[in-house]
Structure 1
Amino acid sequence: MTGAGLKNNFILSLIILAIVFSVLLPSSSSALSKKATVLIYHKFNEPDSPSTSIPTEVFEKQIRFLIEKGYRIISIDELVDALYHKKPFPEKAVVITIDDGYRTTYTEAFPVLKKYNLPFTVFLYMEGVGRFPAYMTVDQLKEMSKYDKVTFGLHSYYHKPLGSITDRKFLERDTKKAIKRFKKLLSFTPHYYAYPYGEYNHSVVQVIKDLGLEAAFTQDPFNVSPETDPYLIPRVPMVGSWATLKNLRWFLETEPMEVSEYNPSFGVLPENPPGRFVFKIERLGLYKDIRFYISELGWLIPEVDLKKSLVTVTVKKSLKRRVNRVALDAVDKRSGHKARFFYLIVKPSE
């Protein structure tokens, strides 16, 4: 065979190999992941509300950062579908949510999100929208609803902190009233709910389920896994001092900790002091430097039993705050990144 013939055969072999590998290896666009990040925003460019607002310029920088770093901003429907089917998320998945329906959602955030053609969800405080000056008008809601990548959800009617409320009649009345006004303004039934102030308990969750809402969102600051309960979907706040690119990067890299069981459960505690906290983690050996956190007391070092896959800590001090967030924090040995798990507890009535 001539030199030219050998060269042609070599080139042909390279082409065949390239085709084979392109079929066998998944492309980056089809890569899957076991975590997703749900971001939560409230107000935009409202310096009089420093703890809940983000400058529009910073918001747009965050959006550009997500796009430039290859994050895939997905719809809330895609996230919830993955949870119900226990399937992985798209690689580097992010969901954008905005609570309350403040007017600056329309005047500041909406133009940015529309500019980049991104999906997002707005959870509406139904007593406020279309009525109170700080919130979107009915015309603004209807104009925003024409954008085919926006989803609207419920954020209750009265916007009460629900963690301590176990009265089913009140919870049903509030939610039904919110659904009724939502349907009146937008002409369809909402599917998703965000707990006001991020507060919830078993009674609240059950009412949300019973009234036909398909998923609900907290304000527990960690990432979502395919095993996440669809009615306890955590969200990372991007407001006030939290709303920096440094914090955004950190949260995006954090892993959801694989906690399969925990006790005491979320919501109203059976007793105070709460006593023994127990976390079941089937693959406990994946983690190191495990710490326990409770808002009122700070960080504590728990007992770790690798044989039983249990992490435990006893809290003998009575809690004074009405609500606390409980967390486990560790380092994931596989990635070297932080891994976290959060939930909310409520002090029982005295």
Structure 2
Amino acid sequence: MQFLCHFKLQQSKNIVLFLLSFFILTLNFPAPSLAAQNLPAEQKDSLAVLCYHHIVPEESPTNTDATISVSEFEQQMKYLYEHGYYTAKLTDVEEFLYAKKKLPENTVLITFDDGYESNYTYAYPILKKYGLNALIFLIGGSIESKPQDPNIIPKLSFDQIREMSDSGLIEFGSHTFNAHYLINEESAFVAMSQELLYEDFDNMNEFFDQIGSPKIKSIAYPYGKFNDMSIAASRLNGYSLGFTVNQGFVCQDACPMALNRIIVLPGTTLEKFKVLIHDSSFVLPEYFDGSVVLRLDSATAYRDKKPMPLDAAATFVGGKFTAPLSFFVENLGWNLLWDSNSHKVTRQLTNQTEKWFTVPTYLAGEQVMVPVRELAEAMGYEVIWHQDDKTVEIK
């Protein structure tokens, strides 16, 4: 199992099948209360992956563990938003596991299984409202057939999938094409032959091609069950992440093809939700709304309450509050040039009304750090130091 998680398979199905048969056998601010207790100072080395399925209006019964109400879901999403959670994308998870890149404080990955139409009708508007990212695992065959049986919960349509994908908030993964059923109480995904398994992957690839979806890199195993052969087939088809329903967090040394998730059950109050995600944060202060905020010793910045990861934590250098230059260029779009000889930043003028200036920089490892107050004020912004929270507000 561990071997297959790390083994680089050849790009040929015939070779892979042969190998399988063989291996299966064998700023100048005052120097240093959001207080230090508000969020952990260090970036996290674990990730909470939330698992949802079907969402229903209040008047509908939630009589299965795979169904929660709209109000419960919105309450939880609002909590994540108001407490400054970073909602990861698949690229974040890949870099966390494969490149050992740290995640911002308070990070979650929001996932949905099966591809129910309620994900579009109820969850998607809430996710848009709070600017949260999510990942939906689709059962290709059930979406393609669009059954009209009133006893079957409606699935997403092609147009709904395309709309959500185009929003940039929603990514999609595989929940197999037609392997989400039981054979003698065993998941078909692990019970089927190699030939049928690879046929299912081929059908799923054609399904995503038909939708015009970006390359799929993740799979959620039906019923959370998998084996060496299914992992190998996933990797052969270009998948780099595999999700189970084993309860727990994802640690940085986890096998990328056997990731834990946290199933959110109906009746999960906010207090229970906080326990699930090991949360101890506080509501972001009001000044986070409408401003850019950086916090001392934190590798997460906020813009209009939306968290953004930094390449390095904001810190004091030479008595000045500094942050990575890359943040201001890539996230805020400031036209800045760095001179590696003079170690200064200058403004790249784009019109006659802009003012030219130079600001000194500092090197922290491989990161170019800039004094926040000097740079922001030179760009025409107001800068405020919040002593109690150890934060810098740029407005």
Q: Same fold (TM over 0.5)?
A: yes
Q: What is the match of residue 205 of structure 2?
A: 179
Q: What is the match of residue 122 of structure 1?
A: 136
Aligned with residue 117 of structure 2, among 103, 107, 113: 103
Q: What is the match of residue 57 of structure 1?
A: 71
Q: What is the match of residue 208 of structure 1?
A: 234
Which whole-Å CA distance do the structure 2 matches of 1:235 and 1:253 have between them? 14
Q: Does 1:154 align with 2:179?
A: no
SS in 1 for 2:128: helix
Q: Does 1:137 align with 2:157?
A: yes
Which whole-Å CA distance do the structure 2 matches of 1:237 and 1:195 have between them? 14
Stretches of 4+ aligned residues off by more than 3 angstroms: 27-31
Q: What is the letter of the counterpart of residue 169 of structure 1?
A: E
Aligned with residue 40 of structure 1, among 33, 44, 51: 51
Specify whether residues 56 and 201 from structure 1 end up closer, same or farther in structure 2 by C-alpha distance, changes over 3 A only: same
Alpha-carbon shift at residue 75 of structure 1 (Å): 1.6
Alpha-carbon shift at residue 153 of structure 1 (Å): 0.8
Moved more, 166-175 or 119-128: 166-175
Q: What is the match of residue 274 of structure 2?
A: 249
Aligned with residue 218 of structure 2, among 192, 196, 207: 192
Q: What is the letter of the counterpart of residue 272 of structure 2?
A: N
Q: What is the match of residue 237 of structure 1?
A: 263
TM-score, normalised by the number of residues in structure 1: 0.62
In structure 2, the gaps of 5 or more residues are 1-26, 149-153, 182-186, 280-395
Which whole-Å CA distance do the structure 2 matches of 1:29 and 1:72 have between them? 14
C-alpha distance after superposition, 1:12-48 (max 9, x if no partner):
xxx9562x65xxx9x9698411111000100001526
Aligned residues: 234
Alpha-carbon shift at residue 121 of structure 1 (Å): 0.7
Which whole-Å CA distance do the structure 2 matches of 1:128 and 1:195 have between them? 16
Specify whether residues 86 and 102 from structure 1 end up closer, same or farther in structure 2 by C-alpha distance, changes over 3 A only: same
In structure 1, the gaps of 5 or more residues are 1-14, 255-350
Specify whether residues 244 and 195 from structure 1 end up closer, same or farther in structure 2 by C-alpha distance, changes over 3 A only: farther
C-alpha distance after superposition, 1:147-179 (max 9, x if no partner):
112111111011232464263222111111111
Alpha-carbon shift at residue 49 of structure 1 (Å): 4.9
C-alpha distance after superposition, 1:189-226 (max 9, x if no partner):
31111111111112111111122111111111100111
Does structure 2 conserve the Cα–Cα contact (< 8 Å) formed by 1:162 and 1:201? no
C-alpha distance after superposition, 1:48-78 (max 9, x if no partner):
6532111011100001112223322222221
Does structure 1 conserve the Cα–Cα contact (< 8 Å) formed by 2:81 and 2:130? no
Q: What is the letter of the counterpart of residue 194 of structure 1?
A: A
Aligned with residue 99 of structure 2, among 85, 108, 111: 85
Specify whether residues 166 and 128 from structure 1 end up closer, same or farther in structure 2 by C-alpha distance, changes over 3 A only: closer
Aligned with residue 165 of structure 1, among 181, 185, 191: 191
Q: What is the match of residue 272 of structure 1?
A: none
Does structure 2 conserve the Cα–Cα contact (< 8 Å) formed by 1:42 and 1:239? no
By relative contact order (CA 8 Å, sep 6+), the higher-ranking structure is 2
Which whole-Å CA distance do the structure 1 matches of 2:121 and 2:128 have between them? 12
Which whole-Å CA distance do the structure 1 matches of 2:29 and 2:129 have between them? 41
Specify whether residues 48 and 58 from structure 1 end up closer, same or farther in structure 2 by C-alpha distance, changes over 3 A only: closer
Specify whether residues 171 and 90 from structure 1 end up closer, same or farther in structure 2 by C-alpha distance, changes over 3 A only: same
Aligned with residue 219 of structure 1, among 245, 254, 267: 245
Does structure 1 conserve the Cα–Cα contact (< 8 Å) formed by 2:216 and 2:238? no
Which whole-Å CA distance do the structure 2 matches of 1:232 and 1:85 have between them? 17
Specify whether residues 187 and 58 from structure 1 end up closer, same or farther in structure 2 by C-alpha distance, changes over 3 A only: closer
